[in-house]
Amino acid sequence: MNKEIKRIAVFTSGGDAPGMNAAVRAVVRTAAYYNLHVYGIYGGYEGMINGNIKRLEKGDVANIIQHGGTFLKTARSLEFKTEEGRALAYDSLMAHDIDACVAIGGDGTYTGANVFTQSYDVPFIGLPGTIDNDIYGTDFTIGYDTAINTAVEAMDKIRDTAHSHNRLFFVEVMGRHAGYIALNTGIGTGARYTFLPEVDNPLEHLVQLLQKSSKRNKLFNLVVVAEGNKSGDAMTIAQKMKEEYDIDSKVTIIGHLQRGGSPTAFDRVLSSRLGYSAVKSLMEGKQNVALGLVDNKISFTTFADAISKKKTIDADLIKMSEILSI
């Protein structure tokens, strides 16, 4: 039988993502509505091990929905990967009479939750908090929409100077293993080409496109580069273009700008829906699953599936990007 849930702990782990604060806010206020006690774990799994756990009231999450980052802080924990570390984390939860946890993060966060719940009877609910949008079982992850909007805004500004100087610009965005940010940034800004981790992007193809652009008297071009694509990062690609084809270019790396900033309305609503649903799901007896949004409805995926199954990028969207860039 599922035990009655009276005390819930919530924490953020791994890389921060805009909207995490909104998700924590939703967990706290939904729990308060149903007369449940909520505790914030500060510093992710590391904070769980060290017992950095504090009671949260509704007022503690006031005026945070518009802020990026995470007020609960986040950290990666090597100690939690050990049996001894997880035992200390369990002891900390029991010291505060925690009945269940809401874990907000990405693949590493889910992996930790999956391992922990195999040994300890503490139900976990996972919320997908990562700008990369690479979590299986959800159409969108917390922070993804904000990251795209940040990248698009930066690209629009770079376009101004690229046009003024008739230059080729390589703009690197985050996405070590997934090209969702790069692909949608490329589509949203009308980029000439997009390097993705999921497909081979030979430099010869880009050169051919640039030659066609030159014949049309288009003297400036924007190219989006996902940091983990097979041809190398933006600096490497620019260097190869210079050495192999004698083509000069400029490089801009947007970097961690994509992880910060005020979350978009979409991310605020998504985070709120997921945080609310996390509390409701625990009250209904669900445990050790990751929540997501599929076809605009809340969905449930086991931690094992969310970790092991790969979320594939839409091949037709890639084709569309190529067609529209001609």
Render pLDDT for 90-100 as a digit per residue (tens, 0 to 9). 999 999 999 99
* Domain 145-259 in this protein, CATH class: alpha beta
SS3 231: coil
pLDDT digits (tens, 9 = 90+) for 150-187: 999 999 999 888 888 888 899 999 988 899 999 999 99
Distance CA 322, CA 316 (A): 10
User: Residue 3 pLDDT > 50, yes or no?
Assistant: yes
Q: Residues 6 or more apart from 122 whose CB is under 8 A from it? A: 90, 93, 98, 99, 100, 101, 116
7-143+263-308 and 145-259, same CATH topology: yes
User: Count H helices, E strands: the chain?
Assistant: 11, 11
Is the pTM higher than 0.95? The answer reads no
Per-residue model confidence (pLDDT) at position 169: 92
Candidate CATH numbers 3.40.50.450, 3.30.43.10, 3.30.428.10, 3.40.50.300; the one for domain 7-143+263-308:
3.40.50.450
Q: What pLDDT is attached to residue 197?
A: 92
Q: Are 7 and 98 in contact (CB under 8 A)?
A: yes
CA atoms of 5 and 276, how far apart (whole Å): 15
Show me where the domains of the chain are located.
Answer: 7-143+263-308, 145-259
pLDDT of residue 40: 98
pLDDT at position 223: 94
Catalytic residues: 132
Q: Does pLDDT of 1 surpass 50? A: no
List, for residues 25-56, the tens digit of each pLDDT value: 999 999 999 999 999 999 999 999 999 999 99
Return d(Cα 229, Cα 175) in angstroms, integer. Answer: 8
